[in-house]
Amino acid sequence: MWYYRSWGFAVTRKTKRGSVIDENEAFSVLDVLKIYTKNGAYTNFEEGKLADLAILSNDSLKVNPEDIGKIEVEMTVIGGEIVFTK
């Protein structure tokens, strides 16, 4: 998925061709995760609300940052309903 490649770039600052651009502007994996999830939410998180979510093939906090772009979506849930499974 394109957004996991962009997560990887935000962390490593490495292009597809292997060039590193502005390495001092890299984010931590946790910061990138927050930017793409919690900080991008259109609501607050309260008990009883339904959440849209994606189940991923790997833990972005545990994989080598170089491999974040290889993470795949295994399942997507929207409004409490499964809308995609691999």
pLDDT in tens, the chain (86 residues): 556 678 888 999 998 899 999 999 999 999 998 888 777 766 677 788 787 888 999 999 999 988 988 899 999 999 889 999 99
Q: What is the predicted pLDDT for the residue at 69?
A: 84
Q: What is the DSSP string of 56-82?
A: ESS-TTTS-GGGGGG--EEEEEETTEE
Reduced to 3 states (helix: H, G, I; strand: E, B; else coil), residue 55 is strand
pTM of the predicted model as reported, rounded to 2 decimal places: 0.72
pLDDT, residue 58, reads: 94
Confidence at residue 3, expressed as pLDDT on a 0 to 100 scale = 64
Range of the domain at 25: 2-85
Beta strands at 81-85 and 73-78: parallel, antiparallel or unpaired: antiparallel
The number of distinct structural domains making up the chain is 1
First to last CA, the chain: 13
